[in-house]
Structure formats: C-alpha cells, structure tokens
Amino acid sequence: MKIKQLFTLALAAGISATSVAETTYSTLISNTAKLTYKVNNVDQVPDEKKADFVVDRKVRFSLSSITALPSAVTVGTPQFILYTLTNDSNADLAFKLSPSDSAPGVTAYTSAVDDTDTSLSISYNLYEDNGSGAPDTSKEILSSDAMTVLQSTDLKVHLRIAPNQANDMNIFAHVLTTTAYETDGATALVDNSADKWVAETVQTVLENNADFRTFTGAVQVTAAEVTLEKTATILSNPEPFDGLAGDQMKAIPGAKVLYSMIVKNTGSEAATAIAVIDILPFEIKDGDIDKTTYKVATTANPTPVTISGVVQGTETIGSDIHIKLTFPEYTIPAGSIADPKTVTISFEVTLP
C-alpha cells in the first residue's frame, strides 16, 4: 500500500498520522547481485544471485495523555481525560481498551498516592473522539470492543470519570490498559523475538515482549465535608431548685433543656439540600416542646433567627412512638478546616 493511500485511510477513519509510514510487514525485499567477467577478453557466462527476505512485523505502541494530572473534578460532575493510543508498528493492529479503578495506596503519579476509601463510588466510561478533540458520548467503547488502528497513526479516546461520592481532596487513581490483537480483534499476537530468523517467514517482534500497555492517571476531587454535632445543655431548673446556676444545674423533671445540632462544612465545595431530622426521646411529649424557640444560626448570620416551616410528626421505633422534628433544608457554603462554615439548629424542651 502506498503511503499516500495509507494517510487517506487514516484521515477517513478520524485517526491522525503521526509519522511517515514505515515499510509494511510482509513486504518482499529482493536484492540481486550480477557478476560478469572475461577470459582472454572473451565474455563468459554471467552469474546472478538473489537475496530475498520478507519484512518482519515490529509491534510498538504507547498510551499517553496531554491532560494535566491529577485532573481536578467536583464530586457529582463527570470529568474527561484525553488519551492517545499511538501505533508505531509497521502493521495495522486491533486494540482493546479497558479502564479500572486503583486500590488505595497505589501511586497515581509523581509523589501522590490514591487515598480514596474503597467504599466510595466512582464510575469509568470510555468514548471515541468526535474528530474535533471532544468525546462522542454516543459512541462508548466497551472493554470487548476491538478498535483498528492503522500503522503509524493515532487513536484518541476520552475516559469519563464520575466520582459520585468522595471526601474532599480525595485522589482517585485509575489504570487504562490497552492490548494489541491481530486485525480480526480476537487473535492474540505471537512473539517471535526469541526465534531464529527465517528470511522467507514473517515474524513478529513485540516491544518489551508484551502485547499490552498501561497508563496510570488520576483525578483529585473537591467535595463538601459535612459533619454533625449534637449537644444538650441545661438552661434552667424549676423551683425550688432554680437557685442552681451554670454547670451546677441538673437534668431533673421540669428542667429546661436546649438541644443543639451543629452542621459544619470544612470542604472546598458548598453542601446543598442539607436536611436535619431530630427524633426526640420517648419520654418527651408534644406538650413538652417549646414551639417558639426553634432557631437557626450561621457563621454569616450569628444572631439566631426563628425558623419557619418546622414539621412535627411521629417516628415509631420498636413499640414506642417518638416526636419527630423536620427542619427546612439549608445550603452551607464552602469552608475549610481553618475556616469552617456552620449552621446551628436548636430547640428547647421541658424534661417531664
């Protein structure tokens, strides 16, 4: 096949040519030597000998990425990493590609390690390039799909990484593996590297004696880091014990108790749709709750304000029916460990 024809096919397939095509394997290379001579100035019968051989197959390919790693991604938002599979062989080959998640502790890239809990959720999908450097999400590449790549050309693919659950600044490492096959996409390559050279037989030489390549990449996730604290504080004691004050007050019947729930975000993303439900102890009945003291305070507005829309209901636990308080949803902006953002919800009850 002529180089021009090869380039035309490559462009038609949406694959970029990386270099001048090398001599295609199985090409017959024929070299002829001819000998003429004379005896007493009389031409003698010439001699002619040929040295023929066929070009062997060099299998060389690689995976690379121009995407800076680790790639930043927000939890719940997919990220695409562009990978380039380069076929530097002197033969067309079929390739299968398969992404997989790495286990915690795996080195994801220079000086960084996958620190993600295996219980957290992440998904990987591979897509073809649309010809303009963007993923074509209508053309997913499954691990069973064989992609034909012409000799001396590239194949661009996009790995979609979607962390659905993560802790703030978690690193998710992954491995993209590509394996080369014969152009039928099913027959494994045979390595003849250690075999004796046979001039008239096409032999295959695998670079590094391997028919696969791997590339380790990673994303670093920004997420909300939300924690809940719950406290109970004695506000007052009934007569005749109302002389007790401060930390001397006791949880005796008739005491006023302040329950507080502190929701804190130390993550680098806002936490939305925060919903707090409080299930009161079985001993506390509806009439023991001071409905005028439901309050909420934030770091942006440290003065407590009365909240509206509190829903009272019941929650059955075992054979006991408990009072359930459902508070309105809130958003807490991004914070940090040094500067956490909080929402505090509190209410008062009278201990029966």
Q: Are residues 65 and 193 in the same domain?
A: yes
End-to-end CA distance of the chain: 93
In angstroms, the Cα distances linking 23 to 55, 189, 209 are 8, 19, 21
Hunting for tokens 């050309």 — which residue is that?
153
pLDDT of residue 107: 76
pLDDT of residue 3: 35
pLDDT of residue 5: 38
In a domain, 9, yes or no: no
Q: What is the pTM assigned to this prediction?
A: 0.73
Residue 56 has pLDDT above 50, yes or no: yes
Q: Which residue has the higher pLDDT, 5 or 280?
A: 280
Q: Is-contact 23 90, C-beta < 8 A?
A: yes
| Torsion angle (degrees, nearest 10) of CA 170, 139, 152, 5 | -160
Q: What is the CATH number of the domain that holds 210?
A: 2.60.40.10
C-alpha 209/C-alpha 323 separation (Å) is: 70
pLDDT, averaged across the chain:
88
User: Pairing relation of β-strands 204-206 and 57-59?
Assistant: parallel
Residue 18 has pLDDT above 50, yes or no: no
Q: Are residues 87 and 199 in the same domain?
A: yes
Residue 208: partners with Cβ closer than 8 Å, 6 or more residues away: none
Percent of the chain predicted with pLDDT > 70: 92
Which of 186, 221, 256 finishes a domain?
221
C-alpha 48/C-alpha 287 separation (Å) is: 116
Residue 344 has pLDDT above 50, yes or no: yes
Total domain count, the chain: 2
Q: Is-contact 175 102, C-beta < 8 A?
A: yes
pLDDT digits (tens, 9 = 90+) for 212-263: 999 988 888 889 999 999 999 999 999 999 988 888 999 999 999 999 999 9
Mean pLDDT to the nearest integer, 337-346: 90
C-alpha 303/C-alpha 299 separation (Å) is: 9
Amino acid at 229: E
In a domain, 16, yes or no: no
Q: Are residues 239 and 188 in the same domain?
A: no
Which of 221, 243, 270 finishes a domain?
221
Q: Which domain holds residue 199?
A: 57-221
pLDDT of residue 306: 73
pLDDT of residue 14: 44
pLDDT digits (tens, 9 = 90+) for 107-155: 766 666 787 776 677 889 999 999 999 999 999 999 999 999 999 999 9
pLDDT digits (tens, 9 = 90+) for 290-313: 877 778 777 777 777 777 778 888
Mean pLDDT to the nearest integer, 49-75: 91
On the question of a cis peptide bond just before residue 352, with omega within 30 degrees of 0, the verdict is no
Residue 15 has pLDDT above 60, yes or no: no
Q: Are residues 153 and 208 in the same domain?
A: yes
Q: Are residues 257 and 209 in the same domain?
A: no
Task: Look up residue 352 and give its two tokens.
Answer: 């029966």
**Which of 273, 265, 282, 180 shows the shortest CA–CA distance to 229?**
265
pLDDT of residue 118: 66
The region of weakest confidence among 84-98, 121-135, 273-287, 304-318 is: 304-318
Q: Are residues 196 and 120 in the same domain?
A: yes
In a domain, 282, yes or no: yes
- pLDDT confidence bin for 190, thresholds 50/70/90: very high
pLDDT of residue 181: 98
